[in-house]
Structure 1
Amino acid sequence: MAVIAYACTAAGCGWVQESPAKEAGTEAVVDERVAHNAQTHAGEAGFTVRETWPWLVPLFIVNLIWLTVSVIARLGVWSVAAVFAPQVAMFPTAPWFGLIEILAIGLITLSYAKKGPEGASVARRAFAGLTMSAFLVMLGNVVLVFVLFAFVAFAFSG
């Protein structure tokens, strides 16, 4: 999911180690950083940590499109949009549905932000977590719409 880059902080040293987030804390990867520091800088240097997500920009754009559809659905400009944004269509009669989604997004965001590698930016992780969780809730809405359509089709087919 994420790529973590450790950059040596010693002056003039351009050494950077990039690894997938799941591997960043493994013994082999940590040993490589320790070895670089010991061999090149006699243990005097440190590392900065930068976490990146290759999927973040496309997912953010998808979320913006979903938000636009939600606003259109709420304004009633395009009534079909309410089908694709059920939380907006249901909010006037069932506000708990939207509140559950907001709570789920908030909890996922906070959970993701707190579980980062030491030295990683909590704000960047929170933004990535917000983007991911909003997308997951959006997928849940899409599944809900298809389940509803399937139920209605089944109910009226016989």
Structure 2
Amino acid sequence: MQLIAAVDSNWAIGNKGELLVSIPQDKKQFQELTMGGVILGGRKTMEGLPGGTTLKGRKNVILTNRSDYRYSDGVIVHSVEEALEELRRFPEEQIYIIGGEQIYRQFLPYCDKAYITKIDYAYEADTHFPNLDEDPEWEMTHISDEQTYYDLEYHFTIYQRK
């Protein structure tokens, strides 16, 4: 399993239920990486995706504690254990954990790779991704050339579990 996120310079990922910023090249990378695979996200993350529905071309798994929850054609699970059991049904598929904060933290132990877009700016934020730079089990194995979007600078990075 892999994690995929865009983080600011403090590893923040969101504020008041919204992403910190929308960078077209980051969205393009997300689409290219996840297309044809399986994405797992929390209810709020999935409801915040463009179009107000599940993402086409991917199997969508949604983790929520709401027992009666339904969302488009997404597969609904209610615990980490149930999610892992569901994900075992796709042994040949690439699986991406797409957030939010609680989901990232719950699934980090099961992942061995993270695609992180690191934005060189500190936003006001209330949700964060685990800081992989401070985690001795992880190391950055790739960093792209500096990218820019208007006055924003960012890098595409890959972290691997040691």
Comparing both structures, which one devotes a greater share of its residues to strand? 2
TM-score, normalized by length of structure 2?
0.19
Comparing both structures, which one devotes a greater share of its residues to helix? 1
